Every structure is written in C-alpha cells, then in structure tokens.
Structure 1
Amino acid sequence: MQHKPLSLNQVLICGAAIVTLSMGIRHGFGLWLQPITQAQGWGREEFAFAMALQNLAWGFMGIFAGMAADKFGAFRVIALGALFYCIGLLGMAWATDPWVFALFTGLIIGTAQAGTTYAVIYGVIGRNVPPERRSWAMGIAAAAGSFGQFLMVPVEGLLISQAGWQNALVFLAVAALLIMPLAWGLREPGLNAPGQVKREQTIAQALKEAFKYPSFQLLMAGYFVCGFQVVFIGVHMPSYLKDHGLPPHVASYALALIGLFNVFGTYIAGTMGPQIPKKNILAFIYMARSVAIVIFLLAPLTPTSVYLFSMVMGLLWLSTVPPTNAAVAHIFGVAHLSMLSGFIFFGHQIGSFMGVWLGGYLYDQTGSYDIVWYLAIALGVLAALVNLPVRESPIARPTTQAT
C-alpha cells in the first residue's frame, strides 16, 4: 500500500521551525569571536579555524545525513542532530584549549547542522510536495532560516551582554533540544514502503550520473562561491565593523537585518523558480552580491551604510538555496534528493571553510580584511558566469537501471 504523503502544512510548519532554530543559532556565532578570543588569549585565526572546520564538517557530514534521511526518513537524523547540537554548544562554552574548542565547535556542531538543516529538510519537501509547488515550498523553508537569523541574532547579542558569553552558549544548548519534538512532525513511516519513492537507481548509480553531468558540477561551483561570501561576511563583519570604530550593536542589527530581508529574498527566489529559469536567478544573485560589496567598500563606513548593505545582502543571502535545490530535484528527481543536495552543499561548505579561515588568517597576517573582500567580489562574478550554461531539463536516463 502506498503511504500517504505528509500534509503540506505539517511539512512546512515543522521543517520551517527546525530550520529557524538550527540556522538562527548558527548565524550568531560571529558575535562570539571577540569575547572568546579575548577571554582565552587566542588570535582570530584559532576561532576562524574552528568555524571553518564547522562548515567543512557540516558539508561533508551532510552527504551521509542525506543518504540516511533518504533511506530511513528524516526524523531519526534530525533528532540525533539536535542532540549533537546541544553537546557541541556546551563544549564550545567550556573548552579552554584551541583544539578541544575546534572539536566541539567545528566537528560536533558541524555534524549537528548537517542533520538539522537544508539537505535533510529539502528531502522531506521533495518527497511530500508536488513538483509544481516544490520551489515555492523550498523558498518557505529557506525564508524560515532567515527569520531565525533575524529572531535569534539580537537575542544572542542580548544574552552575551546580560549573561556572559559562556552562559549564553548554555542557553542555546537547551534551545537546540527543542528541535527533537519538532522532528516528530516530519516522520515518514512509509518511506520504505513499496511504491512510496520509486528508486530506479542505486546510490552509486545516482552519484555517477550526477558527477558526470556538467550542470551538477556548475551548480556545485556556484554554491562554493555562495559559501565563501556569506560565511566570511557572517563571521567576520562584526569584527570588521568594530575595527573601524562602530559600536557592537551595529553588527547585531546588521546581521538581524540580513536575516529579516533574506526572509523576503528567499521567498521571492522560491516563487520565481517556476516562472524564470533557475540558472538566470542564480546568475543575477551572484552578480548583484559583487556589485553590493563594491559599493559597500567604496562608500563611507557609517551605521547607515552598514544597514543599507545588510538589507541588500539580505535579499541575496540564502536566496540561492531554493533555485539551486529545485534545479537538482528537477534534473535528477527526488529519490536521492537529500544525498545530492548534500553533495551540492558540500561544495558550499568548502567555500565557507575558505572564506571564514582566510578571513582570520589574512587578518592576522596583514591586519586587514581587504584581500578577502576583493576575493569575494571576483568569485561572485565567476559564479554568475558558471551558472549561465546550466541545463535544467530532466536528465535522460536509461530504462535498464534498477535498484
């Protein structure tokens, strides 16, 4: 008997709430850079390395989280991810050695994020939402992550100022456990029942097909740039602004504005997916980011210019997520969607590793973030160009492939 798909409202409410918490916690980590490095006597590179490792672990473990969610359903993966999140945040609060800090902040929290964010949630959406509404639903989930940033970053800044940076992390560890009951709403008890998701390919066949297909490689390359830009800005902009004499609240408001405006940006990108070729949406986003960074660097640095930049970047922040994942679903189908989204996201996280680590390394070497800003501009132009040749039509697949 074919299992009845989860209701659209159930998928969206539970999925959006999970992403709101998971991404909301994660987006505020830049606020801890200076409190932790000053308290521990570390350079910025130690903190940046842990964050870079987190992004790399998130991307790498996302592949396996996606495989597990495709095979066994999302509930177990998300619940385990929530537990890892709690453990990682507690370790981040109490670690006094840079390598122990990197273990908890990097490997453990990165693994937690792999199980509680987009690749797993989008797999549930792909399996339970009709194709004509899939891009829109993915936009809703991405917008939830942005709302989490808008909601959580000011709260995290307030917690740090009122309770201290260590206690703030303990509070977040408790909040991460709220993901577990939400995951119950994404249980797919009939995921492996006959007729639920027709698997015409093995995992090996799906991977071989995807990596031989040029459009998959191009989408992965574009996502690399996305990770480089957003994680560099998200982690290092608070310190960049403080270095230039702006008060700490400007950074908190800036990150919150990015989150608020990304609610609109991701929703718009998702709704545009069925009407406009997704590759054109992606090319525009990447080029617009580069233009925005150029204007930001040329303009006088004031709270007003920071807030305007944050609004524009917010519209472009995670708006790459719905068209990229919808394109993967349209090209390859949904049977292995979480896994393939995990591989695409791994490219994003390699870029995140480079952006956040280079930001810390080059700052310690040169006393400036200028080189990384220039790299972000050049890579944005490159990403716009590599997305234009993407072919979005469903792939022609031999009928002889079998599970």
Structure 2
Amino acid sequence: MPTADRKLSMTQVLACGAMIVTLSMGIRHGFGLWLLPITQAQGWDRGTFSFAIAIQNLSWGVIGIFAGMLADRFGAFKVLIGGTLLYAAGLAGMALSPNSTIFALTAGVLIGAAQAGTTYAVVYGVIGRQLDPAKRSWAMGVAAAAGSFGQFLMVPVEGFLIRGLGWQQALLVLSVVVLLIMPLAFGLREPGFAGGAIPPKRQQTVGQALAEAFRYPSFQLLMAGYFVCGFQVVFIGVHLPSYLKDKGLSPEVASYALGLIGLFNVIGTYVAGTLGQTVARRKILACIYLGRAIAISVFLWAPLSPLSVYIFAAVMGMLWLSTVPPTNAAVAQIFGVAHLSMLGGFIFFSHQIGSFLGVWLGGVLYDRTGSYDVVWYIAIGLGVLAALVNLPVREAPIVRGAPQPA
C-alpha cells in the first residue's frame, strides 16, 4: 500500500491525541487559580491579569488559523513539537515576568500560540484524516473528553503546587511537565506527511476552501455559536475562583468546582460526540447553549453555598466542552476533511474572540463596579442567542461539481 494511503490505527490516534489534549488543556484550565496569587504578589489589579489571559485567548485564535494550515500542509507532528516548546517557554516566562508587559507577552502571546499548536484543531485534523467518517464524531468526543479529564486531573494538581511551592515555582514545574507532549506527538506522525512528503492532491486550494466556507451561512452560524461558547467558559474558568472568594468561600471550593467541571465534562463531551453520530448536531448545540443559560440563571438565583457551587459545576461540566465534538463534526460533514484543521481554526478563532471579551470584561467590569453581576447576565443572554442561531444550521455535505481550477 502506498505510504500516503496507509492509516494510523484508531487506538494510536486516540491514545496519543487524548493524552496530548489532556496535558495541554488541563494546564490551561487551571490559570484562574493564579489570578489572586499573582495579582497580590505583583500589586496588579484583576484587570491586568485578565487582559493577559484575554490576549492569550486571542493569540490562540489568530495563530490557530495558521497552525491549522500548517498541520493540513505538513502534518500535525511538526506543529505539535513547535507548540510544546512555546508552551514550556511561556509558562517559564509567566513565572519570571518582571512587569505586566512581559507577563502579557508570555502568559498571553506565547502560551496562546502554544495552545494553538497543541490542542483541538491540530488533533482533530489527524482524527478527521485518519479515522472512518462513521466513527468521527465519537472519536472527537473521546478527544474532547480527554481534555476534560485533564481539567479534572490538573486543576487540583495545580492548586496543590501553588500551595506547596508558591506560584512561581509551580509554573516552572509545569513548564517541564508540558514537555511530555513531545514524545506523544510521535504517535501522530501521519504516513502521508512522512519525510516531508506532500499529502494527496486536494480538490480545492486554501483560498477556494475559505471562500466556499465563508459564503456558506451555516459556517457563519457555527462561528457565532462558538463565540458564545468562548465567552462563557473562559469567563467562568478564570473568574469563578475570585467570585467565590469574594462571596466568602474558601479557595478549596473553587479548586474542587473547577475539578468537578472537568470530571463531568468527560461525560458531557463523550455523550455529545456519541449523540452526534445519530442526532442532528444543530439540535445538540442548541440544547447545550440553552442549558448553560438556565444553569447560570439558577446558580445566581439560588442561595450560595459549597453545595450549590458543586451542583453548578457538575451541570456546567456536562455542558462545558460538549460543544466541541458536534461543532467540529459538523464542519467535517459539510466541507470534508482536506482543510479541516484550517476551517476548525477559523471556527475556533470566533471562540477565542468570545473568550477574549469574556475574560477581559470580567476583570474590567469588576474593577469598575466591584461585582461580576453584569457579566453573568451577559453570559445568560448570549446562551439564549447561541441556542437560536444554531437551529438553522444545515449539516448536509456541500455538493461540488468538477474540481475547481487552482
């Protein structure tokens, strides 16, 4: 069999891809635990830290587009290696930053670029190219569940490291731990890209694929929904620990809550990926976004206690990254897999614009009003909006005529 036609085994793809996402996403989900230690040690306000994390999300979104292009063109392996080195450098730089500008460059730009090269868009491209379409949505659910398990695993570990070593040493330890992604990347070396070989000729150029996608209304609707996803999850992930501390709850409650989000998201993402094999993905997405709006509303209305926080975390966990498998599976279903990493990168860019606004507004509005209430209400309204915009999405594959001229 020609090298380009040979496929990696499903077990290998899922095992290595899941472990990579576990490390990369697991570390990033704990960044909210550093907000108070770093701002108090450096004498910064919350807006300064929030701005750096907002830059991180925007950097991830912008660079993710190009990381996806490179992964589609040269294979995921090289992109993963580069992303891992950037991740280690960014974490170390985050620990040693002497001022807020350097902190924004390391915690923001460097780590954002690193996440672009080590998370879903790159790994999902391998899944799309290497696995049977009949198992694609399920496999994406498994990879997303791994990212959720990483949150469950890594957030308590990060909290333990901060308490035991201090915030700076904890970041330096993580900068070494993240290098474990490099040996795992060898398991995603696709045969068609080996030795610099060019993947099989595509029906479309990059420009043609982009023009087709952006002319297609359903692509725009999926981007709009993902914008809301980013706003909600990053605002909650970064600011929930501070919100709970302001309300008089201990830091351990926040650590356990973020861990519970990760644990229950293992279930939620797997279920969403599995349902995506038989249920219209637009309906799954609409239910997820509406469910988030309801969960936040009840959380704000109910008396606050550790129990109410844990219940909220469990419910949000079921809905946390469960948008990822149906969204990416819908993109693969509509447009095919030749440019999946790149198109997934553009969808994710919308997510990261939402992430930027969610985390930044959380810090800015808190500093101005002394409360997170306005941002919570925005998150509720956006959840209802996202549920509505996903309903008209058309998931049928685009029917193309003769191959388009280059």
Partner of 1:362: 365
- After superposition, give the CA deviation of every residue in 1:326-373 in whole Å (9 maximum; x if it has no partner): 000000000000000000000000000000000000000000000000
Partner of 1:147: 149
Aligned-residue offset at 1:96: 2.0
Aligned-residue offset at 1:402: 4.0
**Alpha-carbon distance change, 195 to 366 in structure 1, aligned in 2, over 3 angstroms:** closer
Aligned-residue offset at 1:190: 1.5
Any residues of structure 2 matched to 1:228-307 within 5 Å, and which? Answer: 228-307=231-310
Partner of 1:100: 102
Taking the aligned partners of 2:46 and 2:222, their CA distance within structure 1 comes to 32
Q: TM-score, normalised by structure 2?
A: 0.98
Partner of 2:168: 166
Taking the aligned partners of 2:254 and 2:96, their CA distance within structure 1 comes to 25
Partner of 2:380: 377
What amino acid sits opposite 1:29 in the alignment? F
SS at the partner of 2:117? helix
Aligned-residue offset at 1:3: 2.7
What amino acid sits opposite 2:108 in the alignment? G
Taking the aligned partners of 2:22 and 2:260, their CA distance within structure 1 comes to 15
Aligned residue among 218, 221, 229 for 1:218: 221
Question: In the alignment, does 2:356 pair up with 1:353?
Answer: yes
Taking the aligned partners of 1:187 and 1:55, their CA distance within structure 2 comes to 27
SS at the partner of 1:75? helix
Taking the aligned partners of 1:269 and 1:17, their CA distance within structure 2 comes to 20
Taking the aligned partners of 2:58 and 2:125, their CA distance within structure 1 comes to 21
Taking the aligned partners of 1:53 and 1:224, their CA distance within structure 2 comes to 15
Any residues of structure 2 matched to 1:33-112 within 5 Å, and which? Answer: 33-112=35-114
Aligned residue among 339, 347, 368 for 1:336: 339
Partner of 1:312: 315
Taking the aligned partners of 1:375 and 1:103, their CA distance within structure 2 comes to 28
SS at the partner of 1:191? helix
Taking the aligned partners of 2:125 and 2:7, their CA distance within structure 1 comes to 13
**Alpha-carbon distance change, 197 to 302 in structure 1, aligned in 2, over 3 angstroms:** farther
Taking the aligned partners of 1:199 and 1:109, their CA distance within structure 2 comes to 32
What amino acid sits opposite 1:102 in the alignment? A
State the identity %.
Answer: 71
Aligned-residue offset at 1:196: 5.6
What amino acid sits opposite 1:362 in the alignment? L
Aligned-residue offset at 1:184: 0.6
Whether the aligned pair in 2 keeps the contact of 1:254 and 1:307 (CA below 8 Å) is yes
Taking the aligned partners of 2:93 and 2:401, their CA distance within structure 1 comes to 49
74-83 vs 188-197, greater mean Cα deviation:
188-197
Taking the aligned partners of 2:136 and 2:101, their CA distance within structure 1 comes to 41
Aligned-residue offset at 1:397: 1.6
Q: Which runs of 4+ in 1 moved over 3 A?
A: 191-198
- After superposition, give the CA deviation of every residue in 1:267-309 in whole Å (9 maximum; x if it has no partner): 0000000111000000000000000000000000100000000
What amino acid sits opposite 2:91 in the alignment? L
SS at the partner of 1:42? coil
SS at the partner of 2:193? coil
What amino acid sits opposite 1:123 in the alignment? G
Partner of 1:208: 211
Any residues of structure 2 matched to 1:8-23 within 5 Å, and which? Answer: 8-23=10-25
Whether the aligned pair in 1 keeps the contact of 2:192 and 2:198 (CA below 8 Å) is no
SS at the partner of 2:5? coil
Taking the aligned partners of 2:405 and 2:130, their CA distance within structure 1 comes to 23
Aligned-residue offset at 1:177: 0.6
Any residues of structure 2 matched to 1:179-194 within 5 Å, and which? Answer: 179-191=181-193
Taking the aligned partners of 2:284 and 2:114, their CA distance within structure 1 comes to 30
What amino acid sits opposite 1:215 in the alignment? S
What amino acid sits opposite 1:147 in the alignment? F
What amino acid sits opposite 1:60 in the alignment? V
Aligned-residue offset at 1:206: 0.2
Q: TM-score, normalised by structure 1?
A: 0.99
RMSD: 1.2
- 5+ unaligned residues in a row in structure 2: which ranges? none
Taking the aligned partners of 2:105 and 2:117, their CA distance within structure 1 comes to 17
SS at the partner of 1:178? helix
Whether the aligned pair in 2 keeps the contact of 1:197 and 1:335 (CA below 8 Å) is no
Partner of 1:398: 401
Taking the aligned partners of 1:228 and 1:155, their CA distance within structure 2 comes to 25
- After superposition, give the CA deviation of every residue in 1:172-193 in whole Å (9 maximum; x if it has no partner): 0001111001001100132389
Whether the aligned pair in 2 keeps the contact of 1:3 and 1:196 (CA below 8 Å) is no
Question: In the alignment, does 2:327 pair up with 1:324?
Answer: yes
Taking the aligned partners of 2:123 and 2:183, their CA distance within structure 1 comes to 15
